[in-house]
Structure 1
Amino acid sequence: MVHESRLQAKRPVNAALAGPYGHPFHPILVTVPIGAWVTILVFDIASHVVHRPGFLTQSSEWLIAVGVIGAVLAAMVGFLDLFAVPAGTPAFRTALVHMTLNLLVIAAYVVNFLWRHGDYADGASVGIGRLVLSALSVTVLGVSGFLGGKLAYRYGVRVADESTQTEGYTPADGSARTPA
């Protein structure tokens, strides 16, 4: 039973939407919001260092929107991956915490966007409250990313099974290699 449930979590619920076996779309899509939101934090900090920070605060607002759109797309595919994980398992509980943290981060960035919207026009640096919200959001995102890594690398969710992985370690000539 345990072996069957582990194999179930490796297969996509819908390959056309979630990505084919061994090539899930979720890890690809999460790079957009992660990159956007980490860059926002850098821009928010830099807006307190440069002489005319308006371009940084304006860019941060745009990057929040890009990150939220990317995160919603990643979440939709992530939901499909969640459906492949058997309920009641440690992997499922980890996936639920991962999902909850990500939804909280998306909500925090929506709030951050609404809080900032249109304020960059004065050319001032990002307010301390908005900067703190960005820093907290990136911190929670990091915790969630750690859990996502645990799902893939420890529990093998949506990762090809070991017998499939061995083809990457078989020499091209077909000979068996022994460890040195």
Structure 2
Amino acid sequence: MKELPLLNIVTSLEDSRWLDPVVQGVRGAVNSIVRFPWLRDVLHGVPLGHPVHPLAVQIPLGAWTSAAVLDAVPGSERAASLLIGVGAISAVPSAVAGFTDWSDLHEQQQRVGLVHAAANVTATGLYLASLVQRSRGRQTHGKVLGYLGFATVAVSGFLGGHLSYRQAAGANHTEDVPHRFPVGWQPLAPLNELVEGKLERRMVADMPLLVFRQGDDVHVLSDVCSHLSGPLHEGKIEERGEACVVCPWHGSAFSLRSGEVLGGPATSAQPRFSTRVVDGAVEVSLPGAG
């Protein structure tokens, strides 16, 4: 079965560089408004272990879908208006979380995400206009505006699906590591070859690993950042209650000891490898591999 022509239009948005000036302006505004690291972590969904936006958007989508159904039922105008209002109010925190995630994406993702956000803003505006018309007793005009808003939300949802599934925004980019790494202990390197206090990249079983030696202790994580596949060995070491590695692309921070997220935008922990030294050689294994 052939893909829908609409998909070609959406795909072309990924390379639409004319959107970049707007992207830069909006991204700057978002970073100025949502500037506290703890707030960004909450909005990214670090405490939840996955992005907040897909969860938060269920409220306005559910309310507006229910309102569309009720608008087709005679005598349900008041209930439909109430649901439209609930959707409009709940769209605000959803949008804040979405814009926060969007500000830490790749350029191609941000171009599609910008149009996705514009569609959501347009839909919300149509719903607010619908409420105004309904409050003036113009129920037919209000319903027309409501259905226009619902159609716009549907287009936005298609863009959001493209962003999430075709472009993998918000996905865990290390989910495949346990499925690809072999079971059991694997040779890494002689201990004396590893430079103490330096982030290094080593390949084991065709998989890039981040290696950091502290004396006789060797910390090993997947070198691919779970946020958007950034090369962690090109990052830096920081102390955030414990030693962590900071991704060079978007600033996600991971504990070298456990791999857990110590700072977003990443929400998924890095796969952490167990290590041991046998006859002067470091070996690694991944719990749950295979």
Normalised by the length of structure 1, the TM-score is 0.73
SS of residue matched to 2:159:
helix
In structure 2, do the counterparts of structure 1 residues 175 and 81 end up closer, same or farther at CA, with 3 Å as the change threshold? closer
Q: Deviations over 1:57-107 (max 9, x none)?
A: 111111111001111110011110111113xx3211100100000000111
2:44 is matched with 18
State the one-letter code of the partner of 2:139: G
2:150 is matched with 138
Residue-pair matches, total: 147
- Find the partner of 1:102 among 92, 106, 120: 120
State the one-letter code of the partner of 1:132: V
In structure 2, do the counterparts of structure 1 residues 155 and 117 end up closer, same or farther at CA, with 3 Å as the change threshold? same
In structure 2, do the counterparts of structure 1 residues 159 and 118 end up closer, same or farther at CA, with 3 Å as the change threshold? same
SS of residue matched to 2:103:
helix
Cα displacement (A) at 1:14 = 2.2
1:164 is matched with 175
- Find the partner of 2:99 among 64, 69, 79: 79
1:114 is matched with 132
Q: Does the CA-based 8 Å contact 2:178-2:288 persist in structure 1?
A: no
In structure 2, do the counterparts of structure 1 residues 165 and 138 end up closer, same or farther at CA, with 3 Å as the change threshold? farther
State the one-letter code of the partner of 1:164: E
Q: Does the CA-based 8 Å contact 1:22-1:159 persist in structure 2?
A: no
Cα displacement (A) at 1:156 = 1.1
Cα displacement (A) at 1:22 = 5.0
2:139 is matched with 127
Cα displacement (A) at 1:131 = 1.9
Residues 35-54 of structure 1 mapped to structure 2, 5 A cutoff? 35-47=62-74, 53=75
Runs of 4 or more, structure 1, over 6 Å off, are none
Unaligned 5+ residue runs, structure 1? 1-12, 48-52, 120-125
State the distance in 2 between where 1:135 and 1:169 align: 47
Mapped pair 1:147 → 2:163: no
Q: Deviations over 1:22-64 (max 9, x none)?
A: 50000001101111111111101112xxxxx1xx111111111
In structure 2, do the counterparts of structure 1 residues 165 and 174 end up closer, same or farther at CA, with 3 Å as the change threshold? closer
SS of residue matched to 2:72:
helix
Q: Does the CA-based 8 Å contact 2:123-2:149 persist in structure 1?
A: yes
Cα displacement (A) at 1:129 = 2.2
In structure 2, do the counterparts of structure 1 residues 83 and 128 end up closer, same or farther at CA, with 3 Å as the change threshold? same
State the one-letter code of the partner of 2:153: L
In structure 2, do the counterparts of structure 1 residues 154 and 130 end up closer, same or farther at CA, with 3 Å as the change threshold? same
1:7 is matched with none
Once the two structures are overlaid, the 10-residue window that deviates more, 126-135 or 38-47, is 126-135
Higher normalized strand content (fraction of residues): 2
CA RMSD of aligned residues (A): 2.6
- Find the partner of 1:58 among 65, 78, 84: 78
State the distance in 2 between where 1:140 and 1:100 align: 10
State the one-letter code of the partner of 2:165: Y
Q: Does the CA-based 8 Å contact 1:85-1:157 persist in structure 2?
A: yes
State the one-letter code of the partner of 2:130: N
Cα displacement (A) at 1:117 = 2.2
Query: Quick check: which has more Rg, 1 or 2?
Result: 2
State the distance in 2 between where 1:136 and 1:166 align: 44
